[in-house]
Amino acid sequence: MRSNSFCAGGTFLGNGTLINVGGNPVVEDHTAAADFGDLDGLQAIRMLEPCDSEDVDDCDMYEDHARIRMASPRWYSTVLRISDGSAMIIGGSTKGGWINNATTNNPTVEYFPPKNIDDSNGLPVHLPFLVDTLNSNLFPIAFSLPDGTVFIAANSDAMIYNWRTNTERRLPGIPNGVRVTYPMTGTGLLLPLSPSNKYTPEILLCGGSTIDDTKPGYEISSQDPASAQCSRLVLDDNGIAAGWQVEQMPQARTMPDAVLLPTGEVLIVNGAGTGISGYGNVLNQVGESNADNPVLTPVLYNPSAPSGQRFSSDGMPTSDIPRLYHSVATLTPSGKVMIAGSNPNLDRSELKYGTEYRVEWLSPPYMSKARPQISEEVPPIGWSEQVTISVTLPLVGKRADIRVALMDLGYVTHAVHANSRLVYLTALLSEDKQKLTITGPPNGNVYPPGPGWLYVVVDGVPSVGLKVMVGNGKSPARDEAALQNLLKTTDVDQYEEAKTNGKNDGAE
Ligand SMILES: [Cu+2]
């Protein structure tokens, strides 16, 4: 990788290529041993084609800003795979920093490969929503919806964006003024989609903060309470009319991570009980951390349990490792959840809330049970296509609940679990209980084409996930004129150029 990718976003594309997008400017003051790359990363698009070779040079990362880049600089933007297998790149700031403001805001979306939407011809498309949601609007929470539109939450607002027509449908505000995006960081998920409820989408947002986002850092404290609120909204006309359903987590959290499990439950981990994201900005910093009172016990949330009985920490281990700013958690193919990170510091630090290198593996209760198995590779699955796979199931009764979960494990950063997705597939077990015939998702709206992981879940116990390619495996369509227009009319490394010309103070 040639440029500074610290705090980038990313996604797999429809053909299985991973892109890593944006990041930081060149860091000029070397504060410690760490180094960050010599090129401005704000407009970078880096590509990696995963490969099985033993030689790392065979699957090197490709980066050449003269040929492949964004039209505009973006720090803390969200990258989302959409229904045609391309990537939507949402919002961000035009330079590194902390809380966003009107002079640094990049209130636009652009695409990779570039598109011509509303005569944009490869250039960024303006989104009024990202102006109206200043200041706390970085790393928007976004999910591709089963009708091909995109849900976006930023600050204490939400909308549905039709990217094909460039139209916004504003949704009711998040109740009680809770802000959910950086630096008042909450987290969000699209709850599992299933054929039995006609893939009706429902959004879950948890944690964040009600601190006034127009206050300067010196009026905010690391001891200001975070929000315990989770808010759910069903995204059809009835659901939107009914509004957000509010419930309370057992503990308040800013910077939580919400991880979808193949069982349909949500694991909530990480984060702090007080303060906000970032470092070195607020009163009563702990070391450099803007947040304090780490929350150390994970909680399981069962979206389909009756209201009031959805949260439980029964049997959950309590960690002694604070996971604050720059922490992550993700489901892995084994079924365990990998928990890592935390660095609320300018650089590597050994002060309190120092740089955390330890990784933890959380085993949900199903890990200790007899597990089903998928016994051979899973072939690629096309839209509504039937595929038969061999399975080894533990003793299953007549009434066994057998489900097949197609999952995107997402691209996790800064509590944003972009691309996280669970789609239950129709599955039919053979008479001899050794074959499962599954039907692929109906189209790329329900599951944007690209790689996924398939888990067979029997009575709430999932198999190990097997990798599967969904869709036709082809590269997303490329609009050559839009790409050429982007390369011709925009400069490489606009932020660095603005700094040299004195148009920018260069502060980070
Ligand atoms: Cu960051």
Reported as a single tens digit per residue, the pLDDT across 460-492 is 999 999 999 999 999 999 999 999 999 999 999
* Least trusted range by pLDDT, from 31-35, 196-200, 201-205: 31-35
Reported as a single tens digit per residue, the pLDDT across 2-46 is 898 999 999 999 999 999 999 998 876 655 444 556 789 999 999
What is the pLDDT at residue 54? 84
In angstroms, rounded to a whole number, what is the distance separating the alpha carbons of residues 105 and 120? Answer: 19
Q: How far is the CA of 79 from the centre of ligand 1 (A)?
A: 15
Please count the structural domains in the chain: 2
The CATH number of the domain holding residue 389 is: 2.60.40.10
Q: How far is the CA of 257 from the centre of ligand 1 (A)?
A: 15
* Complete DSSP assignment for 344-410: -SSS---STT------EEE--GGGGS---EE-SPPPPB-TT-EEEEEEE-SS--TT--EEEEEEE--
Tell me: do 113 and 33 sit in the same domain: yes
What is the pLDDT at residue 508? 41
Residue 158 in any domain: the answer is: no
Mean pLDDT of the chain: 94
Percentage of residues of the chain with pLDDT beyond 90: 87
Residue 375 in any domain: the answer is: yes
Q: How far is the CA of 367 from the centre of ligand 1 (A)?
A: 32
Q: Identify the three-state secondary structure at position 483.
A: helix
In angstroms, rounded to a whole number, what is the distance separating the alpha carbons of residues 218 and 394? Answer: 59
Tell me: do 505 and 392 sit in the same domain: no
Tell me: do 498 and 440 sit in the same domain: no
Q: How far is the CA of 99 from the centre of ligand 1 (A)?
A: 12
Tell me: do 5 and 115 sit in the same domain: yes
Residue 382 in any domain: the answer is: yes
In angstroms, rounded to a whole number, what is the distance separating the alpha carbons of residues 20 and 377? Answer: 28
What is the pLDDT at residue 32? 44
Tell me: do 121 and 46 sit in the same domain: yes
Q: How many residues does the chain have?
A: 508
Reported as a single tens digit per residue, the pLDDT across 135-163 is 999 999 999 999 999 999 999 999 999 99
Reported as a single tens digit per residue, the pLDDT across 309-351 is 999 999 999 999 999 999 999 999 999 999 999 999 988 899 9
Residue 248 in any domain: the answer is: no
Tell me: do 488 and 462 sit in the same domain: no
Average pLDDT over residues 112-125: 98
Q: How far is the CA of 102 from the centre of ligand 1 (A)?
A: 20
Tell me: do 124 and 3 sit in the same domain: yes
Residue 506 has pLDDT above 70, yes or no: no
Average pLDDT over residues 375-383: 94
Reported as a single tens digit per residue, the pLDDT across 63-100 is 999 999 999 999 999 999 999 999 999 999 999 889 99
Q: How far is the CA of 21 from the centre of ligand 1 (A)?
A: 13
Reported as a single tens digit per residue, the pLDDT across 209-244 is 999 999 999 999 999 999 999 999 999 999 999 999
Q: How far is the CA of 322 from the centre of ligand 1 (A)?
A: 17
Tell me: do 465 and 483 sit in the same domain: no
Domain extent for 374 = 370-470
Reported as a single tens digit per residue, the pLDDT across 416-446 is 999 999 999 999 999 999 999 999 999 999 9
Q: How far is the CA of 140 from the centre of ligand 1 (A)?
A: 13
What is the pLDDT at residue 446? 98
Contact between residue 125 and residue 144 where contact means Cβ atoms under 8 Å apart: no
Tell me: do 10 and 135 sit in the same domain: yes
Q: How far is the CA of 7 from the centre of ligand 1 (A)?
A: 4
Q: How far is the CA of 414 from the centre of ligand 1 (A)?
A: 6
Tell me: do 418 and 507 sit in the same domain: no
Q: How far is the CA of 6 from the centre of ligand 1 (A)?
A: 7
Tell me: do 3 and 135 sit in the same domain: yes
Residue 406 in any domain: the answer is: yes
Residue 493 in any domain: the answer is: yes
Q: How far is the CA of 355 from the centre of ligand 1 (A)?
A: 13
Reported as a single tens digit per residue, the pLDDT across 267-298 is 999 999 999 999 999 999 999 999 999 999 99
Q: How far is the CA of 366 from the centre of ligand 1 (A)?
A: 33
Tell me: do 488 and 466 sit in the same domain: no
Q: How far is the CA of 62 from the centre of ligand 1 (A)?
A: 23
Q: How far is the CA of 63 from the centre of ligand 1 (A)?
A: 21
Q: How far is the CA of 228 from the centre of ligand 1 (A)?
A: 23
Residue 273 in any domain: the answer is: no
- In the block, tokens 């006609």 appear at 198
What is the pLDDT at residue 30? 55
CA distances in angstroms from 413 to 47, 270, 341, listed in the order given: 18, 12, 10
Q: What is the dihedral of CA 217, 221, 224, 229, to 10 degrees?
A: 40
Residue 315 in any domain: the answer is: no
Residue 401 has pLDDT above 90, yes or no: yes
Task: Please tell me the number of Cα atoms within 13 Å of 224 on its side-chain side.
Answer: 23
Cis peptide bond upstream of 183, omega within 30: yes
More confident residue, 396 or 317: 317
- Render the burial of 439-464: b for 16+ CB within 10 Å, e for the rest: bbbebbbbbbbbbbbbbbbbbbbbbb
